[in-house]
Chain A
Amino acid sequence: DADVTQTPRNRITKTGKRIMLECSQTKGHDRMYWYRQDPGLGLRLIYYSFDVKDINKGEISDGYSVSRQAQAKFSLSLESAIPNQTALYFCATAYGDTQYFGPGTRLTVL
């Protein structure tokens, strides 16, 4: 679904580095989410935003921060990356009950 895009698609970084993952959408949806996917652990919610002025912590927000720059943009930051933040990260938007996922960003922290 090209309406939800994520950059970068792959990133390798070192412990202690600051990393920003970006999500953009052209769907015009107010609700946006950041998830983390690890093998055997499913999809876990990091942060979510119901509109530009709304930011909420999810299940696993420690070590992460977000910024909702506009309706269309929702960025996830790792202030000081650590190896156990190595994972596949998905951004999603929602309209009605359906969530629409981006293609994912594979992040490796060495």
Chain B
Amino acid sequence: GENVEQHPSTLSVQEGDSAVIKCTYSDSASNYFPWYKQELGKRPQLIIDIRSNVGEKKDQRIAVTLNKTAKHFSLHITETQPEDSAVYFCAAAMNSGYSTLTFGKGTMLLVSP
């Protein structure tokens, strides 16, 4: 089955800095890659996703890049703010819709004022 590795496990940055979280996947058939954000004590929520036919996707301060050849994808957060502090999970699925997500172990991002 699919295996998703996520790094780093913790990331501390100063407010205003950029943060990058990286994930690798094992199954070349995977073609859908979402990112979920989980604030302390809250439920995970989808923040951005990318499909294998796209190399990059942006939404305001967050962006995701995908390298299909290397089987890795990354989350980029620019101009970090304290409210970006959370655990971020990457995931992969073979087909969007009627398939299951395999999640990475998560990255705890701490943004200091």
Write the residues of chain A forming the contact surface with B, with a CB cutoff of 8 angstroms.
1, 31, 33, 40-45, 48, 50, 58-59, 90, 96-99, 101-104
Is B98's CB under 8 angstroms from A1's CB? no
Residues of B whose CB lies within 8 Å of any CB of A are 1, 6, 9, 32, 34, 36, 42-46, 49, 89, 96-98, 100-106
The residue on A at minimum CB distance from B96 is A97
Min Cβ gap B54→A in Å is 13
Q: How many A-B residue pairs have CB under 8 A?
A: 47
Set of chain B residues within 8 Å of A102, measured between Cβ atoms? 43
Partner of B103, one of A42, A98, A104: A42
Residue B44 contacts which of A41, A44, A90, A96 (CB distance < 8 angstroms)? A90
Query: Which residue in chain B gives the minimum CB-CB distance to A44?
Result: B103
